[in-house]
A and B are shown apart, each in its own frame.
Chain A
Amino acid sequence: MLTAGLLAGCGGSGGAGDGNGAASSGSPAGSPGSAGAAASASASASDAAKPVKLTVLNGTVEAVDWLNEQIKAFESQYPNITVEQEFQKTASDVLKVKIASGDTPDIVALAQVPEEFYDQDLFHDFSGDTAIWDRLTNPDIKSSIADTNRPDKQFYLPMTVSYTGLYYNKDIISELGIQQPSTWEQFTAALRTVKDHKSGVTPLYLGGKDSWTLGQLVQYLPLGSIQQALGVEAANKAFIANDAAKLEFDKPGSRVETFAKALMDMKSAGLVNKNGASASYDNQLDAIANGKAAFVIQGMWALGDILKKNPDAHIGFWPIPALMPGDKPYMIGSPDGAVSVSEKSENRDAALKFVDFLMSPDVQKSYSVLRNSPSVYKDAAADWSILSRDIAQDTQNAFVASRWPWTPSGYNSDAIGRTVQELLVDAYKTPADFAKTFKDNWDKGYTNAAP
């Protein structure tokens, strides 16, 4: 990867070449759009002879072996192309350093790219690749992953849809006769029922030591409510532009304040675990897997680990109850597993071939099963988890956001989570104090990065 990256760097991409990111560009305008590897092979007989080395930056550890398998299969079809995978735990950070030094990977998979890199046109634009977009199960997906600042551009290709919601312990819920809570009052009542009748079981378990779990709560509840009020796309614009009038972060009685109050109330009523700030994500999964907790708010990505801890776990999946009155229950069902290609790389065409291969139906099917998530492609349907029926039901009556609520690069869900940790250890006297700190941090998180 380095070599290809270096070649790319010296070849003429000014600074950071490819953004990190999942934005994968579709096939370039020139070559015939081809969704399958077979089609691409015919398109460039002339490159077939030249040996090419591609580098893929992968940010998802669960996909490392899977990616290696795909690489092997691809290399046997294209003997002149070698692909090297670089797995990085903190792919985002490493990418920033690389790009700052002019070293961009040919392909970035399954990792987050800061918007600033898309703005610099470091990635291939897939918008013209109709063959891929035609395969989507839901055409709206294309616009929901369009570039934020220039919606006519598509800088990455998705693979699956990831959902977030409320896991619940089926046995405890049915024993106590709890119905699906839609409003926050119903949710609090359900939690209280658990507390009163099941001592030793935590009603709602927080894994706060891993601050992102708390940061995501902020994204689901107050920020998600903004999405419901303005519509996902308009909300996205408001977040990015820091439109204080629309966001109202520190207005009295605002959503952020309501969130803080809700959390403080749950804490004082004993509805969440006392060690919420020091219990880890691992502890959280343990708790729901082994009946020590009735509810946890998490994403589908957790399912695999939950079942590993207890293969007989009886869990279900509901949408997250609405924080604000008048809102519907909330889920995020957003395209995930993004793949992008460096636009300035010398090996761009070969990289695009590899991406085409990755997007082929069989490969997508295997990825869908790997991540317990449905594929975005019609022809890659697979039996992806025990909760597929739950999700089908849930998406009927909930507000399903097609995008994660955007956060500034300097105040991402890790950082937001730390502010919530502070709340859990009583650093804030009133919910209004929390809201004020939140707004200050949010404002400071904008990097003023001029493209």
Chain B
Amino acid sequence: MIRIARRLHERLHLFMAVPALLLFAVFFVVPLVRGINISLTDWTGLTPSYHYVGLRNFAEFFRDARAVHALRVTLIFGLISPLLLCALGLLYALLLDNRLRGRGFVRTFVYMPAIISPLIMGYVWLLLLNSENGALLQLLTMLHLESWYRDWLGSPGQALWVVIAVNLWQFVGYAMIIFLAGLQGISAEVIEAAKIDGAGYGKTVRHIIVPLLLPAIRINVVTNLIGSLAVFDVISALTDGGPGYATESMSLFIMRTSFNGHTGYATAVAIVMFAVILIPVSVALQLMRKADYDR
């Protein structure tokens, strides 16, 4: 008896992945399969009946002007945000990597906006930018600079940039921390060697630091790509996809369509959205792998 128990115990470690995989299978894979099933139907979400329509929903997507516009919004937000997040995050990290007093505090403060739920962050900025009594307007008025105020949220061309800015504000801390971690792994001697060779700061960063940061860059790019392409909460709170449909991202479009009597179609669009996420991420990973080899 004890020998059997002992034998089991010796092999137990092989099964340590089972709980995680089980959780994943039940709460993710099962609904996903049913979801894919739904995407092949014309289900409205309101009545129990539905019919299989094959890939018609997917064809419909490309003919649907509003859906294609949502794709465009998603790509603009989803490709520009990671770029800005990485750039600014790197700058912050380079700044805070120096031996300056109080940098621990600043690091903490910069990350703190990431703790607020994106929904609340959206509302906060709504309060800031409101065209009647927002804090920004009040501040400018106090400084007699009201004429500088612009109703960005009311302008279709500019609203998306506001959302990008808010998203940047909130998550630059996360990108920064990842880069800080990477910078810590770069030994001081390498930097010293560069200085001795006469390289200026800019050159050092470009040719020495950035290549050594590749793992950190990879993490930041992939995580932020996924997060930005799937953005929902901050747009919902800040502009609700408006004005009109100017900032309606794919996630917002899918949510609305799903609850407005076109659930089958909406699920199909969600699968398209998966491809929209998969392609840039794969391309980015390939590019970075290439950069790795070139080193």
Does a CB–CB distance below 8 Å link A and B in the complex?
yes
- Chain A residues near B (Cβ < 8 Å): 14-16, 92-93, 96, 99-100, 114, 116-117, 119-120, 208-209, 211, 274-280, 283, 286-287, 409-410, 412, 415, 418-419, 421-422, 424-425, 427, 445, 447-451
Known contacts A116-B46, A275-B132; can you find 10 more A-B pairs with CB under 8 A? Answer: A16-B48, A100-B263, A119-B47, A120-B48, A211-B242, A275-B151, A278-B153, A415-B260, A425-B155, A449-B261
Instruction: State the Cβ distance, A292 to closest chain B Cβ, in Å.
Output: 8
Given contacts A15-B48, A116-B46, A448-B44, A277 and B242 within 8 Å (CB-CB): yes
Contact, CB under 8 Å: B154 / A15: no
How far does the alpha carbon of A448 sit from the alpha carbon of B49 in the complex, in Å? Answer: 11
- B126: nearest chain-A partner, CB-CB: A280
Collect the chain A residues with CB atoms within 8 Å of residue B211's CB.
Answer: none
Collect the chain A residues with CB atoms within 8 Å of residue B262's CB.
Answer: 410, 447
Collect the chain A residues with CB atoms within 8 Å of residue B130's CB.
Answer: 280, 283
Contact, CB under 8 Å: A451 / B133: no
How far does the alpha carbon of A449 sit from the alpha carbon of B130 in the complex, in Å? Answer: 40
How far does the alpha carbon of A280 sit from the alpha carbon of B126 in the complex, in Å? Answer: 10
Instruction: State the Cβ distance, A105 to closest chain B Cβ, in Å.
Output: 16
Contact, CB under 8 Å: A409 / B46: yes
- B48: nearest chain-A partner, CB-CB: A15
How far does the alpha carbon of A103 sit from the alpha carbon of B195 in the complex, in Å? Answer: 69
Contact, CB under 8 Å: B242 / A418: yes
Interface string of B237-261 (1 = CB under 8 A from A): 0001111111000000000100111
Instruction: State the Cβ distance, B186 to closest chain A Cβ, in Å.
Output: 46
Given contacts A409-B261, A425-B155, A419 and B46 within 8 Å (CB-CB): no
Number of interface residues of B (CB under 8 A): 30
Interface SS of B by simple majority:
loop
How far does the alpha carbon of A279 sit from the alpha carbon of B242 in the complex, in Å? Answer: 12
Contact, CB under 8 Å: A278 / B131: yes
Collect the chain A residues with CB atoms within 8 Å of residue B261's CB.
Answer: 114, 116, 409-410, 445, 447, 449
**Is B113 part of the binding interface, using a Cβ–Cβ cutoff of 8 Å?**
no
Collect the chain B residues with CB atoms within 8 Å of residue A274's CB.
Answer: 151
Interface SS of A by simple majority:
loop
- A418: nearest chain-B partner, CB-CB: B244
Given contacts A280-B130, A421-B242, A449-B261, A100 and B45 within 8 Å (CB-CB): yes
Q: Among the listed B49, B132, B156, which residue makes an inter-chain contact with A286, where contact means beta carbons less than 8 Å apart?
A: B132
Instruction: State the Cβ distance, A342 to closest chain B Cβ, in Å.
Output: 15
Contact, CB under 8 Å: B243 / A116: no
Q: Among the listed A100, A119, A277, A409, which residue makes an inter-chain contact with B260, where contact means beta carbons less than 8 Å apart?
A: A409
How far does the alpha carbon of A1 sit from the alpha carbon of B262 in the complex, in Å? Answer: 27
- B47: nearest chain-A partner, CB-CB: A449
Contact, CB under 8 Å: B244 / A427: yes
Collect the chain B residues with CB atoms within 8 Å of residue A119's CB.
Answer: 47
Given contacts A275-B131, A422-B243, A96 and B46 within 8 Å (CB-CB): yes
Collect the chain A residues with CB atoms within 8 Å of residue B151's CB.
Answer: 274-275, 278
Q: Among the listed A93, A116, A275, A445, which residue makes an inter-chain contact with B154, where contact means beta carbons less than 8 Å apart?
A: A275
B window 115-167: CB within 8 A of A: 126, 130-133, 151, 153-156
- A94: nearest chain-B partner, CB-CB: B259
How far does the alpha carbon of A116 sit from the alpha carbon of B256 in the complex, in Å? Answer: 18
Collect the chain B residues with CB atoms within 8 Å of residue A99's CB.
Answer: 46
- A15: nearest chain-B partner, CB-CB: B48
How far does the alpha carbon of A322 sit from the alpha carbon of B188 in the complex, in Å? Answer: 78
How far does the alpha carbon of A14 sit from the alpha carbon of B49 in the complex, in Å? Answer: 11
Instruction: State the Cβ distance, B73 to closest chain A Cβ, in Å.
Output: 14
Collect the chain A residues with CB atoms within 8 Å of residue B48's CB.
Answer: 14-16, 100, 120
9 contacts between A and B (CB under 8 A): A15-B47, A96-B46, A96-B259, A100-B263, A211-B242, A279-B131, A409-B260, A418-B244, A419-B244
Collect the chain B residues with CB atoms within 8 Å of residue A209's CB.
Answer: 153-154, 240, 242-243
Interface string of B170-182 (1 = CB under 8 A from A): 0000000000000
Collect the chain B residues with CB atoms within 8 Å of residue A447's CB.
Answer: 44, 46, 260-262
Instruction: State the Cβ distance, A167 to closest chain B Cβ, in Å.
Output: 17
How far does the alpha carbon of A425 sit from the alpha carbon of B155 in the complex, in Å? Answer: 7
Collect the chain A residues with CB atoms within 8 Å of residue B156's CB.
Answer: 422, 425, 427
Collect the chain B residues with CB atoms within 8 Å of residue A427's CB.
Answer: 156, 244
Contact, CB under 8 Å: B44 / A425: no
Given contacts A422-B243, A427-B156, A445 and B44 within 8 Å (CB-CB): no
Instruction: State the Cβ distance, B63 to closest chain A Cβ, in Å.
Output: 12
Interface string of B70-99 (1 = CB under 8 A from A): 000000000000000000000000000000
- B159: nearest chain-A partner, CB-CB: A278
Collect the chain A residues with CB atoms within 8 Å of residue B153's CB.
Answer: 209, 278
Contact, CB under 8 Å: B133 / A286: yes
Collect the chain A residues with CB atoms within 8 Å of residue B263's CB.
Answer: 100
Collect the chain A residues with CB atoms within 8 Å of residue B45's CB.
Answer: 96, 100
How far does the alpha carbon of A418 sit from the alpha carbon of B245 in the complex, in Å? Answer: 7
Instruction: State the Cβ distance, A310 to closest chain B Cβ, in Å.
Output: 14
Q: Among the listed B44, B126, B244, which residue makes an inter-chain contact with A116, where contact means beta carbons less than 8 Å apart?
A: B44
Contact, CB under 8 Å: B243 / A120: no
How far does the alpha carbon of A167 sit from the alpha carbon of B179 in the complex, in Å? Answer: 56
